[in-house]
């Protein structure tokens, strides 16, 4: 979800990092077109990509300094990205993964419970949030979560159990209140399992990825359906979106003026604005392009 996006954006060199890559991870990196694979993770991986390694050594080839570093990680990765931000570009400072499910009395409690557990097994600080307007549905989901957790294998069971200690459910007066709370949280993943789910989804404004209806499982987004799954967490969905080619592209502007006469109105405006700001040097630089005004530096030039 990162290498393919970088390649699609036209990046000439793509570096991936993972401390203990399984064969399938290496295969995926090859298929995605990665140029270099670092067998390192955490802050060390971020430092290597940010600052590079100038020369080949006993451990491998030289590593070019990367212009942009993207992708989620643990708290050490996030801390390291915050340090190198500015020296190179980053996508976001990712927090713990999260899912928020809005559901009503039509929801399948076992399905919702499975989705909450799927998120909780990510990390002990992951958040699984439930918003519903149905007391009956809420209670049924709590029972289903307990039943499904009981038969989850380790270490997933222990991880999910700890994550649920940081998770919560809210019984709302109606679905509009669910939407209001959801927009305030701006979850990474937002599932809608209600009647008229698409209409409810359209009324939601802040989220990383939206999954509409019982069959649109967030886990399907993890592994292939929909857009990029590197998504904003920790409420950052209020002002940013998921990873895309735009994270690897720059807006570069340029100006060219061939018709001096046609540009005079802009020249005159620039002279006035510069002096209003007290920037006399700016004004005189504009006057040097004027066909109607003698530059002040000529008027006030010392006699030779």
- List active site positions: 188-189
Say if CB 131 and CB 167 are below 8 A apart: no
State the CB neighbour count (10 A cutoff) for residue 271.
21
For 247, residues 6+ apart whose C-beta sits below 8 A from its C-beta are 5, 9, 68, 70, 89, 91
Say if CB 17 and CB 60 are below 8 A apart: no
Left if phi > 0, otherwise alpha if psi is -120 to 50, otherwise beta: which for 52?
left
Say if CB 131 and CB 182 are below 8 A apart: yes
Pairing of strands 98-103, 189-193: parallel
Left if phi > 0, otherwise alpha if psi is -120 to 50, otherwise beta: which for 127?
beta
* Residues present in the chain in total: 304
Beta-ladder partners of 89: 68
Gap between the Cα atoms of 95 and 235, Å rounded:
9
Sign of CA dihedral 192, 197, 202, 203: negative
């Amino acid at each position: 979800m990162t290498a393919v996006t970088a390649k699609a954006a036209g990046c000439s060199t793509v570096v991936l990092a993972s401390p203990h890559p399984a064969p399938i991870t290496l295969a995926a990196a090859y298929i995605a077109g990665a140029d270099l694979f670092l067998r390192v993770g955490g802050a060390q991986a971020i430092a290597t990509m940010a600052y590079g390694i100038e020369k080949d050594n006993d451990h491998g080839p030289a590593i070019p300094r990367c212009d942009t570093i993207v992708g989620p990680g643990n708290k050490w990765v996030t801390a390291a990205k915050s340090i190198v931000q500015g020296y190179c570009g980053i996508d976001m400072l990712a927090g713990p993964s999260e899912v928020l499910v809005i559901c009503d009395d039509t929801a399948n409690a076992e399905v919702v419970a499975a989705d909450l557990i799927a998120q909780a097994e990510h990390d002990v600080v992951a958040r699984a949030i439930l918003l519903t307007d149905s007391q009956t549905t809420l209670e049924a989901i709590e029972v289903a979560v307990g039943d499904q957790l009981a038969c989850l294998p380790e270490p997933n069971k222990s991880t999910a159990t700890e994550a649920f200690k940081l998770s919560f459910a809210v019984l709302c007066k109606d679905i509009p209140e669910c939407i209001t709370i959801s927009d305030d949280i701006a979850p990474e993943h937002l599932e809608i399992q209600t009647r008229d789910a698409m209409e409810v989804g359209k009324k939601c404004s802040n989220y990383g990825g939206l999954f509409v209806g019982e069959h649109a499982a967030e886990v399907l987004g993890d592994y292939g359906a929909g857009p990029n799954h590197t998504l904003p967490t920790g409420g950052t969905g209020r002002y940013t979106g998921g990873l895309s080619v735009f994270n690897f592209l720059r807006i570069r502007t340029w100006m060219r003026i061939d018709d001096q006469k046609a540009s005079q109105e802009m020249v005159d405006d620039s002279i006035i604005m510069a002096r209003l700001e007290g920037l006399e040097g700016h004004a005189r630089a504009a006057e040097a392009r004027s066909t109607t005004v003698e530059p002040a530096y000529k008027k006030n030039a010392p006699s030779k």
